[in-house]
Structure 1
Amino acid sequence: MAPVIPGFDYRRVPVADGVSLNAAVAGSGSPVVLLHGFPQTHLMWRHVAADLAADHTVICPDLRGYGASDKPAAGDGPAADDTTYAKRTMAADVVALARALGHDRFALAGHDRGALVAFRAGLDHPAAITHLACLDVLPTLDMWDVMRGTTAAVGFHLFLMAQPPGLPERMIAACPDDFFGHFLDLWAGDRGAIPAEVRTAYLDACRAAVPSIVADYRASAGVDVDHDRADRAAGRRLTMPVTVLQQDWGAALGYDAAALWRAWAADLEHSTVGYGHFMAEEAPAEVAKALRELLAR
C-alpha cells in the first residue's frame, strides 16, 4: 500500500469530463492548494502540508496523469494541437477541484511541473488565485529560451519527451526505474530527505504513468509555449502576490532568473536558495515559512 500523508483524508474528485483527481485534504482556515512536481506525487508535500494544516485548509492533489489521479489518453497528433495535458487544462482541473471542495478563491503553490500548472492557473484564473508560489522552475517560454548550447544537456529529458508519440514512451518504458530514479538521485541535495518507502511510491507511480508523463512534457514543447507566447504578446501578467524559490540555475546557464520572473509578476518575491531541487522535502521548514510569508502579503 502506498504511503499517505498522516492525518489527511483522501478523496477522488471529478474535475472534468471523465477525469477525477486523487486529493489529500486536511485542516481548516483559508485554503491552500499544493501541486507536486516530477517525478513525484502529492507525497512530496507531506511535511509542508502538515505544517500549514495547523491553520489552513490544505489540499494536495495528484496532477492529471500522475499518481492515483486519472490518466486520459493524449492524442497522437502534433503537440501544438493536443490540449489533453496542456497546462491550461491541468490548471482548470485545479480550479475545478478547489471549487468542488467549496473554495472559489485559494492560494496556490507548485513545484516543478506543478509550478507550471500553478503559473498557468494564475494567468488564466486571476480571480480564483489569491497568492501564488512557484518552486524551482522557469515559465515554459523562458525555459526553452535559455536552454541552449552544451548547458542544455542538463535538460535532456525535456528534449526527449518533446519528440512525437512513440519513441520516447518505448524508451522510458524499457527501463522506467532507471529513468525516473536518475532524476531523484541527480536533483537531490540530500538523498536522505526521500526515504525508501517514498522513493518506491514515486517509482511505482511513474512506472504506471509513462504515457501521461511524456504527454505532459510534450505539451510543454507545443501548446504550452503557444499559450505563453500569446500571453506575453498581449502583456498579460500575474496580478496576485508571487513568491519564487529557486536554485541558482542562472549562474550555470547564464541568465537572470529573477529578471525573467519579474517580467511576468508585478508583486514578486524571488529568492535564490541553497538546498536541492526537492526543496519541500529537503528544507520543509524553510519552504513552509516562505509560504506563510507569502500568505501574509
Structure 2
Amino acid sequence: MSWNGWIGRTEYAVTGGEAPDGRFVARHLPLRTCRGGGRVDQLCSRRGRAAGAVSAWLSADPPDLAPGRPALQDEYTVVLADLRGYGDSDKPARNGSHEPYSKRAMARDQLRMMRALGFERFSVVGHDRGARVAHRLALDAPEATDAVAVLDIVPTRHVLANVDRGLATAYFHWFFLPQGNGVPERLIGNDPEFWLRVMMSADPGDEEAVDPAAMQEYLRCFSTPDAVAATCAEYRAAATIDLEHDEESAAAGQRIACPTLVLWGERGFVGRHYDVLAVWREYASHVRGHGVPSGHFVPEQAPLQTLDALRSFLSSHRG
C-alpha cells in the first residue's frame, strides 16, 4: 500500500484527538506494547487531529494523494501499519487453530498500537485485507472506533455464503491458499514474483496503477518463505476461525455501530458482482458510500475521488 504507500498500499485507519505537528517518523513498536511479543512496522505522521491507518502490505512515506489538494496528513495524524505477517511486521508462528493470523488477532494488534501511540479513539480506513481487519476491529472494540471506511470489499461471511461460478473464478486464491500440506507455499515459493504480479493484475489496468517503486517494495516484502507462509496462514484463518468469529457476531446480533463509509471500484469484481451498499446494510447500522471509476486498487486508480470521499466522511465524524 503506498500512497504509493497508503494510496498504493492495502489497508489503513484514522483517529480523532489532538497531536503535535511533526514530520513522518518511521518507528518499530516493541511487541510487548503492540501484541505481547512481536513487532508491528508502522509509519506515523503527527499533524492536527489524529488519524491512524492499517496496512496489509507495506509502509512508505506517503506523498500527497493528489497534487494541489490537501492531503489527509495535513489534517490528521496518519498511522500506516503493516498487518502481522505482511511487510516488515513479524510473522508469528502458525498453529492448527489459525488464531495467530485471525482478523481478531490482527485487529488487536492495531488497537494496541494505536493506544501505545496515545490514541484511545480513532477512525479506521481499510482496503482489501485491511478492510476485513477494520470490520473486525469495529465489532470487537466499538468503544475505540469513531468511524470506519472499507474499500472494495463485502464482508467475508457474505462472500463465502454466496459462492457461485463468478466468485470461484475471480477469488480462486481464497480456495487455493488455505490448502494444507504446504501445497500453496511450495508452488508460490517457486516463483513469488509471478504470483504477486498475477494477483495484482486481476482487473485490466490494476498493475499499471501501482508505482514501479512500490511494486519493487511489494516484491521485496513478499519474496521470502516466511512471507509466503504467513499469507497462506492468513487465508486459512479467513476460511476457518474468522468465519467462526463472524457467525458468533451475527448470532449475537452484532453490527458495526459507528458511521461506515463504503467505497468500491466500479470496474472491479466487487462493483460488478454485488449490490455493495445493500450487503453492508446487513452488517452495519449507519452506512453510506458509492462506487468510483477504478478497478480493485481504488486509491491508486481514483485518488481524487478517494481523497475527497475520505475527507468529507472523516470531517463529519471527528472524535
TM-score w.r.t. the length of structure 1 is 0.90
Deviation at 1:190, TM superposition (A): 5.2
SS at 2:284 equivalent? coil
Measure, in 2, the Cα distance between the counterparts of 1:167 and 1:226: 24
Amino acid at match of 2:228: V
- Any conservation in 2 of the 1:36–1:45 contact (CA below 8 Å)? no
Alignment correspondent of 1:115: 131
Structure with greater helix share of residues: 1
Taking structure 1 as reference, are residues 118 and 201 closer, same or farther at Cα in structure 2, changes over 3 Å only? same
Measure, in 2, the Cα distance between the counterparts of 1:290 and 1:143: 25
SS at 2:256 equivalent? coil
Alignment correspondent of 2:89: 69
Alignment correspondent of 1:126: 142
- Any conservation in 1 of the 2:265–2:292 contact (CA below 8 Å)? yes
SS at 1:201 equivalent? helix
The answer to whether residue 252 in structure 2 is matched with residue 230 in structure 1 is no
Deviation at 1:165, TM superposition (A): 4.6
Measure, in 1, the Cα distance between the counterparts of 2:258 and 2:175: 32
- Which region of structure 1 is more displaced relative to structure 2, 162-171 or 53-62? 162-171
Percent of aligned pairs with the same amino acid: 35
User: What is the 5 A alignment of 1:90-169?
Assistant: 90-169=106-185
Deviation at 1:34, TM superposition (A): 1.9
- Which region of structure 1 is more displaced relative to structure 2, 86-95 or 192-201? 192-201
Measure, in 1, the Cα distance between the counterparts of 2:163 and 2:79: 33
The answer to whether residue 271 in structure 2 is matched with residue 256 in structure 1 is no
Gaps of 5+ in 1: none
SS at 2:306 equivalent? helix
- Any conservation in 2 of the 1:47–1:281 contact (CA below 8 Å)? no
The answer to whether residue 303 in structure 2 is matched with residue 284 in structure 1 is yes
* Aligned equivalent of 1:204, options 192, 196, 220: 220
Taking structure 1 as reference, are residues 82 and 5 closer, same or farther at Cα in structure 2, changes over 3 Å only? closer
Measure, in 2, the Cα distance between the counterparts of 1:63 and 1:188: 27
The answer to whether residue 49 in structure 2 is matched with residue 30 in structure 1 is yes
Alignment correspondent of 1:171: 187
Measure, in 1, the Cα distance between the counterparts of 2:4 and 2:272: 36
SS at 1:185 equivalent? coil
SS at 1:108 equivalent? strand
Alignment correspondent of 2:196: 180
Alignment correspondent of 2:293: 274
Measure, in 2, the Cα distance between the counterparts of 1:3 and 1:135: 14
1:36-73 Cα offsets, whole Å, 9 max, x none, are 34xx4234965449811101100000111111111112
Amino acid at match of 2:149: A
Deviation at 1:126, TM superposition (A): 0.4
- Which region of structure 1 is more displaced relative to structure 2, 196-205 or 281-290? 281-290
Deviation at 1:141, TM superposition (A): 0.5
Alignment correspondent of 2:15: none
Measure, in 1, the Cα distance between the counterparts of 2:301 and 2:44: 22
Taking structure 1 as reference, are residues 48 and 222 closer, same or farther at Cα in structure 2, changes over 3 Å only? farther
Deviation at 1:275, TM superposition (A): 0.7
Measure, in 1, the Cα distance between the counterparts of 2:118 and 2:46: 14
SS at 1:244 equivalent? strand
> Aligned residues, how many?
289
Deviation at 1:174, TM superposition (A): 1.2
Amino acid at match of 1:216: E
Q: CA RMSD in A?
A: 2.4
- Any conservation in 1 of the 2:43–2:61 contact (CA below 8 Å)? no
1:15-41 Cα offsets, whole Å, 9 max, x none, are 11221111111132322222234xx42
SS at 1:22 equivalent? strand
Deviation at 1:288, TM superposition (A): 1.7
Measure, in 2, the Cα distance between the counterparts of 1:146 and 1:35: 27
TM-score w.r.t. the length of structure 2 is 0.84
Amino acid at match of 2:168: A
Alignment correspondent of 1:20: 39
Measure, in 1, the Cα distance between the counterparts of 2:166 and 2:212: 33
